Structure 1
Amino acid sequence: MYPGPKAQEYPDRPAVIMAGSRETLTYRQLDERANQVANYFRSLGLQRTDPIALLMENHLDMIVAMSAAERCGLYYTPVNSFLSVEEVAYIVDDCGAQLLLTTAAKLEVAQGLPSRCPKVRHWLVADVADPPAPFAGLAAVIEEFPTTPGDDERLGTPMFYSSGTTGRPKAVKRHLPDVSPQEQLGIEEMGKRLFRMREGMTFLSTAPLYHSGPQSSISIGMRLGATHIVMDRFDTEQFLALIDEFKVTHTMVVPTMFSRVLKLPKDVRDKYDYSSLEAVVHGAAPCPRQVKQEMLDWWGPVIYEYYGGTEANGTCGCTPEEWLANPGTVGKAFFGEIVIRDDDGNELPPGQPGTIWFRGGNSSFEYLNDPEKTAEAQDSSGTMSKIGDIGYLNEEGYLFLTDRQAFVIISGGVNIYPQEIENLLITHPEVMDAAVFGVPDEDFGEAVKAVIQPLDPDGGTPELAQRLREFCLEHLARFKCPKSFDFIDEMPRLPTGKLYKRQLRDQYWKDMASA
């Protein structure tokens, strides 16, 4: 979030525009306000590598605070703003935050934290003039501080927590070099090429900034003098309207967003102009082949894909042309070398699925306060690391994802990968969203269960279940087809687009165990 010389080069150019309110910060305003906050942080005695936490929805002052932290050498943790008091308290305490900044919208949750988070010494609210103790108003405390840079600026970086879809959230702590913020971390330089970003682009940010993909794309864009349109939350038609209105050149999405715009009526989709788009980058989850093909047919060869984790231990990238030649791939290794291994650590040949490891990528990360998980993610040689995904390579070295290790269904001794089934179900015209996982079964150990969010809120009928069963039998081997279908009003997806599958699966296991 550090614009560096772009603040002087383009002082009056909008750096950030909030899509809902149209509140705007120019590059000059962002730089001056971030300097004030950074000088305030220094006055509190915060030192390089000290941690702070941000409990904020997408908000202008969230971007300001990130920019300030990156001038003070701090580790800053953006906290999922949809979590409960207990969940937020765990993250704030675990990361060791000495300061927490929140907003009026999140103050009710934040007020439950002081008694649970004794390490926090400073409590701030961005947009409340006279907040309740122990909170202070951000505008008031920074007012006396200069808008010019401090004497010894050092580079800071985010420390993200995982979404917690497979267990308690864990922090990914990457190495922070002791350098000026004028320097750029290698991961950001790589991201510029991976995300197809360029000088002066107009970037539409669609997801919460507490997630690494959206946050890093804006952080990279700041150093390129980009204008960033930031959505408060994803709205399907608003997304299309913003592309048209602002002549958006670049954006980043998750596959669920593709699925939802494709299911808009044709007359709505045809209302807007998408000719300004140069690169629409997607990641965070595998994209069903039919969904991606339909997007390419609609918007043309501007759909790019990336694969990688917050750990930045390795990444893949895929151009539209590469995907069309290898449908379903997430690309070739862009950073690091991909190695597919079985449970015994043996390397597997092309076509055979196994755990995805990266050799020679970034291994200088750790899971904060969890040395066992850190050791588990790294090979004993110290040259390879993993993040828990399963996939295979084809003969040309293109990677295909199969599923997360935690969600593999073992039925009658056979591995079944839910992602394949979900990717099929989401293409059915009566399905808005789908989740597939294993449930207890006396004969086979686990049986395949599908939970469906119908396109029609009243459409969850036995007749639809039968149509979906026949649809699966038409396209999948019988042993992969769900044994049962349940219907749900709203799928528990995180605002980042990731499916909170553990919440669904755990409830079924709990209910069946108590039956």
Structure 2
Amino acid sequence: MNDKDRPWVLIGDERRSTADIEARAARAARGFEELGVRAGDVVAIVLRNDFPMVEATLGAGMAGAYVVPVNWHNTADEARYVLENSGAKVLVIHADLLASMGDIAPAGTPVIVVETPPGLVEAYPSARSAAAGPVDMIAWDSWLDSYAPKAPPFAVAPGSMIYTSGTTGRPKGVRRTPPTPAQAESSLAVMRQVGGLLPYVGRMQDVVLLIPGPAYHSSPNGWLFALLRMGANVCIEPRFDARRMLERIERERVTHVLAVPTMFIRLLALGEEVKARHDLSSVVHVMHVGAPCPPHVKRAMIDWWGPVISEHYGSTEVGAVTWCTAQEWLDHPGTVGRVVDGTEVVVMDAEGKVLPPGQSGEIVCGRATYPDFTYHGDDDKRRRSARGRLVATGDVGWFDEAGFLYLSGRASDMIIFGGTNVYPAEIESELTKLPGVADCAVFGIPDAEYGEQVCAFIQPKPGVELDAEQVRNGLAAHLASYKLPRHIEFVDSLPREDTGKIFKRKLRDPFWEGMERKI
């Protein structure tokens, strides 16, 4: 494929021009309409990173419909809830996921099945037995071929309706109003700033974006489709692998990368010979999002990759609201940045009073030109999240005197030990510094005397043996005694998503079974 075929999308080892993908998406738009999908309706997809995921998302948007990307790690019951709650008119699903989840579609909902391609079977060996799907399925490729493309002008795409993780019960879909032209341009302006795209205005065909994580997540989903529409080239990995990520950057001359801190940890764990082998000089901008990054990890990445590591903070509901460069972070270690243009971010106490710099409280933010949202089917939850014209993110943090924001952690993750607030992120950051610790998860469990106590699950590095007292002694020099984990468990592996992000609820829920706690 030569320059005239730019922009393109590369998934695994297969490359297609964006023009070809959009032509197939237009067929999908016509097909969705023939199945009764109208503007404002929902198309649900249970798809791994694959071309039909891109085609179905773009096609639904051309028809004016929302896309609900369902986390395919969900249990069948969890997936069924999302499909029912969203009111999905059509389900598009990979064959092996249909085989493992079973009958998750509401009665009467058309199900279109995508054959699981060899690249995904290689990445997910469990997919092998059901890669082709049932013989009586509506097959994606033949279904597309049966429709002529929908002709422009297309409807305004309302975007993806992402279901939040549900810290206090069932997840809710963030349903945003379709953007006006002014709102769309405002969002693009923020993405150009935060995404390191300002030098590429007018020549987006020179951008090569790497998406190494699953696109059902809010951030990769948003950046992927925004940059596709801007005209960038996009590499999408079937599954994150640290070594392959370096190979991909070198081979495709990747310029922009979207990452999460766990990816940094896995990259840094590669041997020095492996790290030195790859030419990463094409990378000009790395965005990391999704979770607090331990300072020593971020500093090590900047030492290795140079001053290309940026960070932004926000949420599915409000988008990116703060941003910092590598140098700003080095000057203000631990920050998630200053407020982006056109956005308001404040820190409030429990009574709604705005707090001064240095005082920690609830992070509340918003952007007047960002499309408003509600939680699908739960307007009350939307009203509860409102703080005047702004929205509570669910995070706790503070500003310094220079206007840089810092996170303490999720309000829902906070451990209340005898009336004292303890934030797991602080403890996890110190744990990952200890020799022999590969990764960890910290959360609160019941305590008859103090209400909650700190619990830590720790994954040692291969061949390393740790004991609880050794860990506590290592933490004692840096943390107050009430922050030290009273309950420690060592495990060979922690339950993770493909990004490496830990499914903390799977560890925490058994401790709270039969007890009341908002988690």
TM-score by length of 2: 0.89
The 1:497–1:333 alpha-carbon spacing in structure 2 relative to 1, beyond 3 Å, is: farther
Matched, 1:459 2:447: no
The answer as to whether partners of 1:102 and 1:124 remain within 8 angstroms in 2 is yes
Q: Which residue of 1 aligns with 2:195?
A: 195
The 1:470–1:424 alpha-carbon spacing in structure 2 relative to 1, beyond 3 Å, is: same
Residue type of the partner of 1:223? Answer: R
The answer as to whether partners of 1:492 and 1:500 remain within 8 angstroms in 2 is yes
Matched, 1:436 2:442: yes
Q: Tell me, in whole angstroms, the C-alpha distance in 2 between the residues paired with 1:110 and 1:501.
A: 22
Q: Tell me, in whole angstroms, the C-alpha distance in 1 between the residues paired with 2:151 and 2:404.
A: 46
SS of corresponding position for 2:103 = coil
SS of corresponding position for 1:475 = coil
Q: Tell me, in whole angstroms, the C-alpha distance in 2 between the residues paired with 1:191 and 1:178.
A: 17
Matched, 1:420 2:441: no
Q: Tell me, in whole angstroms, the C-alpha distance in 2 between the residues paired with 1:70 and 1:405.
A: 34
Q: Tell me, in whole angstroms, the C-alpha distance in 1 between the residues paired with 2:243 and 2:167.
A: 28
Q: Tell me, in whole angstroms, the C-alpha distance in 1 between the residues paired with 2:241 and 2:365.
A: 36
User: 1:467 Cα shift?
Assistant: 2.6
Moved more, 405-414 or 475-484: 475-484
Q: Which residue of 2 aligns with 1:13?
A: 6
Q: Tell me, in whole angstroms, the C-alpha distance in 2 between the residues paired with 1:429 and 1:149.
A: 60
Residue type of the partner of 2:358? Answer: G
Corresponding residue pairs, total: 493
User: 1:166 Cα shift?
Assistant: 5.3
- Report the identity percentage: 36
Residue type of the partner of 2:343? Answer: G
Matched, 1:297 2:290: no
The answer as to whether partners of 1:260 and 1:432 remain within 8 angstroms in 2 is no
SS of corresponding position for 2:210 = strand
Q: Which residue of 1 aligns with 2:380?
A: 372
Residue type of the partner of 1:342? Answer: D
SS of corresponding position for 2:345 = strand
Matched, 1:353 2:360: yes
Q: Tell me, in whole angstroms, the C-alpha distance in 2 between the residues paired with 1:238 and 1:467.
A: 35
Q: Tell me, in whole angstroms, the C-alpha distance in 2 between the residues paired with 1:155 and 1:511.
A: 43
Q: Tell me, in whole angstroms, the C-alpha distance in 1 between the residues paired with 2:345 and 2:141.
A: 48
Matched, 1:41 2:32: yes
Moved more, 325-334 or 147-156: 147-156
After the TM superposition, which residues 88-487 of structure 1 pair with which residues of structure 2 at under 5 Å, given as runs?
A: 88-109=79-100, 111-114=102-105, 117-118=106-107, 121-127=109-115, 132=134, 135-147=137-149, 149-150=151-152, 152-164=154-166, 167-177=169-179, 184=184, 186-197=186-197, 198=200, 199-200=204-205, 201-312=207-318, 315-334=321-340, 335-361=342-368, 362=370, 364-379=372-387, 381=388, 383-456=389-462, 459-462=464-467, 465-487=468-490
Q: 27, 30, 43: which one pairs with 2:21?
A: 30
Q: Which runs of 5+ in 2 are unaligned?
A: 117-130
Q: Tell me, in whole angstroms, the C-alpha distance in 2 between the residues paired with 1:213 and 1:247.
A: 22
Residue type of the partner of 1:267? Answer: E
Q: Note the aligned Cα RMSD (angstroms).
A: 2.5
User: 1:131 Cα shift?
Assistant: 5.5
The answer as to whether partners of 1:494 and 1:500 remain within 8 angstroms in 2 is yes
Residue type of the partner of 2:326? Answer: P
Q: Tell me, in whole angstroms, the C-alpha distance in 2 between the residues paired with 1:296 and 1:194.
A: 18
The 1:363–1:460 alpha-carbon spacing in structure 2 relative to 1, beyond 3 Å, is: farther
Q: Tell me, in whole angstroms, the C-alpha distance in 2 between the residues paired with 1:498 and 1:242.
A: 21
The 1:153–1:175 alpha-carbon spacing in structure 2 relative to 1, beyond 3 Å, is: closer
SS of corresponding position for 2:234 = strand
CA offsets per residue over residues 188-236 of structure 1, 9 Å max, x none? 4422321213412111111111111111111122123222111111111
Q: Which runs of 5+ in 1 are unaligned?
A: 1-8
SS of corresponding position for 2:162 = coil
SS of corresponding position for 2:421 = strand
SS of corresponding position for 1:301 = coil
Residue type of the partner of 2:377? Answer: N
TM-score by length of 1: 0.90
The answer as to whether partners of 2:43 and 2:68 remain within 8 angstroms in 1 is yes
Q: Which residue of 2 aligns with 1:83?
A: 74
The answer as to whether partners of 1:309 and 1:387 remain within 8 angstroms in 2 is yes
Instruction: Point out 4+ residue stretches in structure 1 off by more than 6 angstroms.
Output: none
The answer as to whether partners of 1:126 and 1:139 remain within 8 angstroms in 2 is yes
